[in-house]
Structure 1
């Protein structure tokens, strides 16, 4: 079989879908189905606009918080903590036993630690001058 290598900043959606589906099939056969399910939490203002939110998923008994954002005007009001609590409750209802999150913002890392998350690794200079910190938490009913 002849092959060629392609590097692109604009991959075709069908090619990305194929790679994702292929990896999912491999992982399912290797360790069992992930049960991956999207999980989002939003805070909205009186007009219905999103002013804070979490986006992530649950899989293999874990909650992964991919994005957590709070509008600058609302920071310091424990909104992140409330959203994390809500996401963790939903993850527990889905059968999860752990949660993890990562950040390169030292202030965010402190917020997560106040919520019971503990660092388990870091990548220095990601981005340069900062460290990307990985944190986890055991969750249970």
Structure 2
């Protein structure tokens, strides 16, 4: 039997990361069934300029919002709520029953709570001086 070697790197190669992801996906699919993972994005442009956007994916009946950004000049106009609503509507058409998101920004936390998301967990000092809050919302 070959000896195991452990490698710690800050610059993993793409092939190793792809193999890691493929192996974990195969394990999860065998354990709980295929994820049905599909990308989802909502983009707002002013002319040719991107002024707001949401990016995430749906998998296992859930919408995960990974990134949500609004240009400073566009904030306070309800764009985040509009993008969330659009993503949630698409997630429902994909058969999703819930959505989740996280943030360490106090203003974003208020926006998400106003959109119907409820906190289910928190990591204090992530980053230092802030709390990273994890929120979910049923999509009934």
TM bin, normalised by shorter chain, reads: over 0.9
**In the alignment, what sits opposite 1:9?**
10
* 3-state SS, counterpart of residue 4 of structure 2: coil
TM-score by length of 1: 0.97
Runs of 4+, deviation exceeding 3 Å: none
CA distance in 2, matches of 1:43, 1:7: 40
Residue correspondences, number: 139
Partner Cα separation in structure 2 for residue 49 and residue 14 of structure 1: 34
Q: CA deviation at 1:5?
A: 1.0
TM-score (norm 2): 0.97
**Shift, 1:10, TM fit:** 1.1
2:78 aligned with 1:68, yes or no?
no
- Measured in 2, the distance between the counterparts of 1:41 and 1:16 equals 27
1:89 corresponds to: 89
Aligned counterpart, 1:25: 26
Shift of 1:69: 0.2
How far, CA to CA, are the matches of 1:7 and 1:42 in structure 2? 37
Query: Structure 2: how far apart are the matches of 1:98 and 1:118?
Result: 12
Which runs of 5 or more structure 1 residues have no equivalent in the other structure? none
Encode CA deviations 1:64-91: one digit per residue, 9 max, x unaligned: 0000000000000000000000000000
Alignment root-mean-square deviation, CA: 0.6
Q: Equivalent residue for 2:122?
A: 122
- The alpha carbon displacement at 1:2 in A equals 1.1
